[in-house]
């Protein structure tokens, strides 16, 4: 029996495969060469450009845009990749509206920045489609480095280290590399297995071995790694998920948004992926938006993001909020979950309105109920499985500016490490910079 759009419960096939395929198409279609030339022409080639300062990886944006303008996208790609080896993915997932494009002087002037992200994608796609890997390894140093976690920080570090001539072994907990690029980003931002293809492209540098299904608690210890390798870089991400602390959290239909997002990304057939009729996402960050929008794209009838503070406090950018709204997601502010109600499986959620009193979220006592056969928790991830001997700061592995942890010979970067926003681009910068520091200390 075919299930319709309105079928209650968590069901697959709410939309036809054709509709789903269309829904999950590229969020921003790639530029063709002419569009890229026109978009590039809008760049003013600012002096000491603000966009460049705003980029966590400090890509020379005016330079790469000028290279596109002058018709050599391959040089543009090299300019990008020199600073950010995952420039292809960052072009797709960076919240450019709060980074380079927010800083663009044309944003200030007209509210219409140069579309830096799409131009970056044009350049990086050009070299990747041609299969060009514009980097070569330096002479072998004989040094070995262990990288734990094959997410953006680990990959960036591994590439930079391999390029410097070191031999790198990357240990990955899952059976696939890429980290959040592969598992944690909305599917419409990384179509056609871009994350996988990018990893493959990156590995062309050589000198990197990946060992899957290995990590702390899965055969590795920090002492073991330290003994076997000349340096260790930790990029283990945030594997834990915060609990709701609302009654009924254990009911069927309540799950972590990150798991749902992973299911969407890994699904061979999205029309076979079940989703609720009435979906409520608890949280206010990018993960909440990714889960909500994708629920809607799979055919959920009502999708609500319930966030405990006001719009301005939301972690997701205004662009992401508007994207969600444009897909039909309802945004509710100043509400927090009180109870999930249902007989075994979730059926409703009770939300309590909130006020912010002296900076703290406080319930007003007034409540409301929403139909909810599926509830996604997207209230933040936590560090899990980090070696005990490391110093922790603010719930993350403590590192200095160069990525050094409290233990000599051990560096860390990405979401698991202190400092910086939890963004792909920040992780790349941290991985790259730690690799430079590792190289310096190995060669000293």
Tell me how far, at minimum, the Cβ of 67 lies from other proteins, in Å: 16
The stretch among 38-46, 169-177, 271-279, 389-397 that binds other proteins (CB under 8 A) is 38-46
Residues forming a β-bridge with 254: 375
Nearest to 431 by CA among 228, 202, 128, 187: 202
Tokens standing for 15?
A: 């939309």
Nearer to other proteins, 106 or 214 (CB): 106
Q: Does 38 bind other proteins (CB under 8 A)?
A: yes
Q: Does 33 bind other proteins (CB under 8 A)?
A: no
396-397 and 392-393 beta bridge pairing: antiparallel
Tokens standing for 405?
A: 């942890």
Tell me how far, at minimum, the Cβ of 40 lies from other proteins, in Å: 9
Instruction: Report the residue from 29, 34, 326, 408 that binds other proteins according to the rule CB under 8 A.
Output: 34
Tell me how far, at minimum, the Cβ of 320 lies from other proteins, in Å: 26
Nearer to other proteins, 110 or 228 (CB): 110
State how far the Cα of 138 lies from the Cα of 207, in Å rounded to an integer. Answer: 10
The stretch among 34-42, 213-221, 225-233, 415-423 that binds other proteins (CB under 8 A) is 34-42
Instruction: Report the residue from 45, 313, 325, 367 that binds other proteins according to the rule CB under 8 A.
Output: 45
Buried b (16+ CB within 10 A) or exposed e, 317-349: beebbebbeebebebebbbbbbbbebeeebbbb
Tell me how far, at minimum, the Cβ of 32 lies from other proteins, in Å: 13
The stretch among 36-44, 135-143, 167-175, 328-336 that binds other proteins (CB under 8 A) is 36-44
Q: What is the DSSP string of 2-41?
A: ---TT--SEES-SS-HHHHHHHTS-SSPPP-HHHHHHHHH
Nearest to 154 by CA among 73, 31, 236, 68: 236
Nearer to other proteins, 41 or 355 (CB): 41
H or E element in which residue 208 lies: strand 208-212
Tokens standing for 301?
A: 């009838």
Instruction: Report the residue from 46, 267, 332, 402 that binds other proteins according to the rule CB under 8 A.
Output: 46
Residues touching other proteins: how many (CB under 8 A)?
A: 16
State how far the Cα of 195 lies from the Cα of 181, in Å rounded to an integer. Answer: 6
Nearer to other proteins, 108 or 138 (CB): 108
Q: Does 48 bind other proteins (CB under 8 A)?
A: yes
Rg over CA atoms, the chain: 22
C-alpha of 31 from chain center: 23
Nearer to other proteins, 118 or 159 (CB): 118
Contact indicator for 346, 369 with CB cutoff of 8 Å: no
The Cα-based distances of 56 to 90, 105, 275, 290 in angstroms read 11, 18, 36, 22
Q: Does 47 bind other proteins (CB under 8 A)?
A: yes
Q: What is the dihedral of CA 270, 275, 278, 282, to 10 degrees?
A: -100
Instruction: Report the residue from 16, 25, 41, 391 that binds other proteins according to the rule CB under 8 A.
Output: 41
Contact indicator for 166, 207 with CB cutoff of 8 Å: yes
Tell me how far, at minimum, the Cβ of 109 lies from other proteins, in Å: 4
Nearer to other proteins, 5 or 112 (CB): 112
Compose the 72-111 pattern: x for residues touching other proteins by CB under 8 A, - for all others: ---------------------------------xx-xx--
The stretch among 40-48, 143-151, 199-207, 362-370 that binds other proteins (CB under 8 A) is 40-48
Tell me how far, at minimum, the Cβ of 48 lies from other proteins, in Å: 6
Q: What is the dihedral of CA 219, 436, 159, 72, to 10 degrees?
A: 160
Nearer to other proteins, 45 or 140 (CB): 45
Residues forming a β-bridge with 276: 10
Contact indicator for 356, 309 with CB cutoff of 8 Å: yes
The stretch among 8-16, 44-52, 189-197, 364-372 that binds other proteins (CB under 8 A) is 44-52
Nearest to 322 by CA among 362, 277, 289, 285: 289
State how far the Cα of 210 lies from the Cα of 172, in Å rounded to an integer. Answer: 7
Tell me how far, at minimum, the Cβ of 47 lies from other proteins, in Å: 3
Nearer to other proteins, 115 or 433 (CB): 115
Nearest to 208 by CA among 250, 157, 242: 157
Tell me how far, at minimum, the Cβ of 124 lies from other proteins, in Å: 23
Compose the 152-191 pattern: x for residues touching other proteins by CB under 8 A, - for all others: ----------------------------------------
Tell me how far, at minimum, the Cβ of 83 lies from other proteins, in Å: 21
Instruction: Report the residue from 44, 193, 223, 391 that binds other proteins according to the rule CB under 8 A.
Output: 44
| Residue where the block lists tokens 């410097």 | 164
Q: Does 70 bind other proteins (CB under 8 A)?
A: no
Where on the chain is the footprint of other proteins (CB under 8 A)? Answer: 34, 37-38, 41-42, 44-50, 105-106, 108-109
């Amino acid at each position: 029996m075919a299930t319709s759009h309105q079928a209650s419960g968590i069901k697959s096939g709410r939309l036809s495969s054709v509709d789903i395929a269309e829904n999950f198409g590229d969020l921003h279609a790639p530029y063709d060469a002419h569009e890229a030339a026109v978009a590039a022409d809008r760049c003013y080639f600012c002096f000491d450009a603000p966009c460049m300062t705003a980029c966590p990886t400090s890509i020379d944006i005016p330079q790469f845009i000028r290279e596109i303008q002058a018709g050599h996208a391959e040089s543009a790609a090299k300019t990008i990749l020199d600073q950010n080896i995952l420039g292809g993915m960052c072009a797709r997932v960076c919240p450019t509206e709060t980074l380079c494009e927010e800083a663009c002087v044309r944003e200030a002037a007209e509210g219409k920045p140069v579309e830096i992200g799409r131009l970056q994608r044009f350049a990086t796609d050009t070299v990747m489609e041609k299969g060009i890997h514009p980097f070569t390894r330096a002479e072998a140093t004989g040094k070995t480095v262990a990288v734990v976690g094959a997410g953006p920080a680990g990959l960036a570090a591994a590439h930079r280290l391999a390029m410097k001539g070191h031999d790198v072994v990357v240990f990955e907990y899952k059976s696939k590399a890429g980290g959040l690029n592969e598992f944690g980003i909305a599917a419409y931002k990384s179509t056609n297995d871009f994350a996988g293809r990018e990893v493959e492209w990156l590995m062309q540098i050589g000198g990197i071995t990946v060992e899957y299904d290995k990590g702390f608690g899965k055969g590795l210890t920090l002492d073991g790694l330290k003994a076997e390798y000349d340096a260790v870089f930790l990029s283990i991400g945030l594997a834990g998920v915060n609990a709701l602390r609302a009654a009924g959290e254990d009911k069927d239909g309540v799950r972590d948004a990150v798991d749902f997002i992973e299911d969407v990304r890994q699904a061979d057939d999205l029309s076979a992926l079940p989703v609720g009729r009435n979906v409520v996402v608890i949280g206010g960050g990018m993960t909440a938006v990714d889960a909500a929008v994708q629920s809607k794209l799979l055919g959920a009838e009502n999708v609500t993001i319930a966030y405990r503070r006001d719009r301005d406090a939301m972690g997701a950018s205004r662009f992401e909020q508007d994207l969600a709204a444009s897909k039909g997601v309802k945004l509710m502010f100043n509400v927090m979950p009180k109870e999930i109600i249902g007989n075994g499986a979730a059926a409703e959620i009770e939300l309590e309105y909130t006020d912010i009193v002296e900076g703290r979220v406080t319930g007003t006592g007034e409540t409301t109920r929403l139909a909810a056969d599926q509830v996604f928790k997207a209230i933040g991830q936590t560090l899990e499985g980090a070696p005990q001997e490391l110093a922790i700061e603010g719930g993350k592995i403590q590192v200095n500016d160069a990525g050094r942890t409290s233990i000599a010979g051990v560096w860390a970067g990405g979401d698991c490490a202190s400092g910086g926003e939890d963004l792909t681009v920040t992780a790349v910068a941290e991985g790259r910079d730690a690799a430079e520091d590792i190289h310096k200390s190995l060669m000293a």
